[in-house]
């Protein structure tokens, strides 16, 4: 999904929300695929899960990628998150 990110991500945004599954402590923050059963993008995040660092990294990553304002709507303390896209 590397060169085609923007095009692919738009199709997963439903009602201005995007469901993701986060794997913290990864080498690099990137989208690694789509989880069909959960209908969520799988995202590796370089930041650790403590002190809200992974959440901040997720918001920063998707804000920059989508060029829109993004916040975590659900899942602040979970690997499954729902992002609100403005």
The pLDDT score that the predictor gives to residue 1 is 46
The helix/strand/coil state of 12 is coil
Tell which wins on pLDDT, 9 or 69. Answer: 69
Query: Which tens digits make up the pLDDT trace of 13-56?
Result: 999 999 999 999 999 999 999 999 999 999 999 999 999 999 99
Domains with residue ranges and CATH for the chain: 5-85 (3.30.1200.10)
Tokens coding 51 = 């002190």
pTM over 0.85: yes
The pLDDT score that the predictor gives to residue 8 is 73
Structural element, H or E, at residue 73 = strand 70-74
**Cα gap 17→70, rounded to integer Å:** 9
Nearest to 18 by CA among 3, 34, 1, 37: 34
């Amino acid at each position: 999904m590397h060169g085609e990110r923007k095009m692919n991500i738009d199709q997963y945004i439903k009602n201005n929300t995007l469901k993701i599954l986060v794997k913290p402590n990864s080498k690099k923050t990137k989208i690694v695929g789509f989880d069909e059963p959960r209908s969520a993008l799988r995202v590796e995040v370089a930041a650790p899960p403590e002190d809200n660092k992974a959440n901040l990294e997720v918001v920063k990553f998707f804000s920059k990628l989508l060029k829109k304002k993004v916040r975590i709507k659900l899942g602040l303390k979970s690997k499954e998150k729902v992002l609100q896209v403005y």
